[in-house]
Structure 1
Amino acid sequence: MADVAVIHMDMMAKGGGEAVAMNVLEALQADHDVTLLTLTTPDFEELNDYFNTDVDSVSVRKAGHLAPFVHETYGLKYYVLQNALLSRYARRHADEYDLLVSTINELGLETDSVQYIHFPFDWTVSLDNREHIFHPTVEDDSFYEKLCTRIAGVKREDIRANTLLANSRWTASVVEDAYGTKPRVVHPPIDTSEFEPRPWEEREDGFVTLGRIERSKRIAEMIEIIDDLRERGHDTHFHVIGPTVDEEYREEVAAMARDRPYVELEGEIPRSELVERVCNHKYGIHGKRFEHFGMAVAELAAAGAIPFVPNDGGQHAIVDDREELLYESPSDAVEKMDGVLSDPSLQRDLRTRPDEIRRRFGRERFRDEIRAVVTDALKGSDGRRSGVRVELPDDVAESTD
């Protein structure tokens, strides 16, 4: 039995990254002494209920004082800085554990750690050379970037020396572009156990979207897509399901929903109701571009719905690159959906068998892979790390510990 630290910023965000973290904790807790290094206090009872997991043998350790304070005060506002501080804290305390496992992308950890990358921060690439910025920051000027990079202490040689995992082939290729090394692809854990797909003819002719309510999910655009489908004569409706992380955007979406009786902004609902809603509807829609994998999309497919997704990112793997389900723009989405909704034979052809989703993306598959990866990493590690620490002024160094 080894001492393993799992590093994750905020379990209560309840997104795909948190689903990965919860399943990692559950996979490791029986065989190891597991500690969660984090910025917040997780409510495991609530999280277990939300993710249908059973995490109960895990210690929790706050990552110092400064990073938790920044998170509590500003939320996602200084996300990259918080991640950098978390990275620094984990590195400074690495010798207290036999293995560090990051479920919050690549951190400045030295050799023999395991790092699950949803999408890389590209710490060693200058801001001007980054094709896309996926993580929200208050400022993107060089001072902020240099400060975060200095605190994070990520080095290419360390990244290459660690065990890297990526959530999709697409993400793995982006990591390779950033750091010159290609991670092993381990698809995220999709909970298929509760989904009991209904016969197609018994389902409602409506759409469901799953995921956090925030601007990058483009919920407003999806509502407008439903508007256009109804104008074309399709008697369809739309359920928006997921926790709120952006109150301002939620109000915008709520205002749109109030004017449309066929749009229901449900927000965060019990897992049993989510499962029931998805299993009772024919279609799903996802709005986030450059989605790194798309766990919500996989859940829609596991429930027997036909999901429509943007034509970029890691979502291709879930819909098997079917052109009928990949859209370039809202107008293209309307054209694709109109074609599918008007063709029952095409609908039968596009549906994915739930057992295929379970085989490719199921939770037991994920947990088995994680346990094997951790076992191999522990075999290759002597349980100790050493290396050059990032030197900061004394007052900053003290506040991060």
Structure 2
Amino acid sequence: MARIAVAHVDLTAKGGGEAVCMNVLEALSNHDVTLFTVTRPDFDELNEYYRTDVADVAVRRPRRSKRVLDALEDATGVTLYNLRNALLNRFVARHAGRFDATVGTDNELSVPGPLVQYVHTPRFARLVVSKRVGEDSFVDHAYDRLSYRVGGYDAETIRGSRLLTNSSWMADVVQDAYGARPEVVHPPVDTHGFDPRPWEEREEGFVTIGRLAPYKNLEDVIAVVDGVRERGHDVHLHLVGPAYDEGYRERLASLAADRPHVSIEGELPRERLVELVCTHRYGLHAKRHEHFGMAVAELVAGGALPFVPDNGGQRDIVDRRAHLTYHTVEDAIETIDRVLSSPDLRADLRPDPASVERRFGRERFRREVREVLDDALS
């Protein structure tokens, strides 16, 4: 048994990164594990949400510095994510010498000793990411540089660690950022409980899974379904996910108020989410340049046919098939109309739910994590 430090800023965010962390904690349950985090987690709630079994994990938080950060966020009205990561990096670096290895599950970590880190996207190399996604901001770059210095990060330490990431596309991004290519370890997709209904018994509707947040482009999802309906297809839409931004949720609710075919489901019990996926024919995802897209893999696990933007890591899940990818809202409407109008094409495109467990399942993820850590410890 080794002493392992695991670092993750905020498990209460309930996204794909948090699923990675919870599954890492469970995978390493045979070790003495301490979680370093900024916000205290409720493991009972998180275990229920992610269907994990995390217990006997000590928790360390930088309380004094967090109070300063909370005051800054209250004063500015901005959640200072990168400064939170910087704060955690300094905190972990002070204690890393007491552990046999450190595992980071929330992007870059720069601490001494054996270090394994899962980079969902380079947080402190936004210039590289911005060029790939067609966005650029001097303010963002200045904020990155400030956070990088405050956190005491060191590019050589990052390059010299055991780097993991979630998709081949993101591996390219990380390599551009740091000059080191990470190993692709697809994140853990929970396939438990998925029992896909026969196609003819499924509803002619779409399910979208993910946080109700602006960067998920959910207005685009509604616009696509509107356009498909205008083409003569009697389809509807369920938006499923926690309300990460209450103002944005209200905006979506106002759009749904005039559209009986749109349902804002919000955060649902796992059983109800699985039921929706298994009883609907289609999935729709709109976040561009997605790091991987665990929600897309869940749609496939439930037998739904997913349509995704033609960029980022999510293309790997649909095997980059042209009939399942799109560039713009108008292109999505054209693509989906073409598929829904052709029974033969739909039959040819139907996913193989069993492949999800083999390629992206949780047991596979935990096994790979244990193998990587054993290698780092040796």
The two structures share one fold, judged by TM-score above 0.5 = yes
- After TM superposition, the structure 1 = structure 2 runs for residues 211-360 of structure 1, keeping only pairs within 5 Å, are 211-360=210-359
| SS of corresponding position for 1:131 | helix
Corresponding letter in the other structure for 1:157: E
> Paired residue for 1:206?
205
> Paired residue for 1:34?
33
> Paired residue for 2:140?
140
| CA distance in 2 between partners of 1:362 and 1:182 (Å) | 23
Shift of 1:107: 1.5
Distance 1:177 1:116, change over 3 A: same
Q: Which has the higher contact order (CA 8 A, sep 6+)?
A: 1
> Paired residue for 2:110?
108
| CA distance in 2 between partners of 1:93 and 1:138 (Å) | 34
> Paired residue for 1:65?
64
TM-score (norm 2): 0.94
| SS of corresponding position for 2:242 | coil
Distance 1:293 1:96, change over 3 A: same
Q: CA RMSD in A?
A: 2.2
Q: Deviations over 1:343-399 (max 9, x none)?
A: 1121121122111111000000000000111111111xxxxxxxxxxxxxxxxxxxx
Q: Deviations over 1:126-150 (max 9, x none)?
A: x599526899x995363x3332111
| CA distance in 2 between partners of 1:247 and 1:16 (Å) | 20
Distance 1:367 1:141, change over 3 A: closer
| CA distance in 1 between partners of 2:371 and 2:160 (Å) | 18
| CA distance in 1 between partners of 2:156 and 2:264 (Å) | 47
> Is 1:118 paired with 2:120?
yes
Instruction: Determine what percentage of the aligned residue pairs are the same residue.
Output: 54
Q: Deviations over 1:31-63 (max 9, x none)?
A: 101111111111111111111111112111113
Distance 1:44 1:340, change over 3 A: same
Kept in 1, the 8 Å contact 2:124–2:148? The answer is no
| CA distance in 2 between partners of 1:111 and 1:47 (Å) | 29
Distance 1:46 1:255, change over 3 A: same
> Is 1:165 paired with 2:174?
no
Distance 1:36 1:69, change over 3 A: farther
Count of paired positions:
375
Shift of 1:203: 0.3
Q: Which ranges of structure 2 fall in alignment gaps of 5 or more residues?
A: none
Q: Deviations over 1:197-235 (max 9, x none)?
A: 110000000000001110010101110111111111100
Shift of 1:341: 0.9
Distance 1:260 1:99, change over 3 A: same
Corresponding letter in the other structure for 2:23: N
> Paired residue for 1:82?
84
Distance 1:174 1:129, change over 3 A: closer
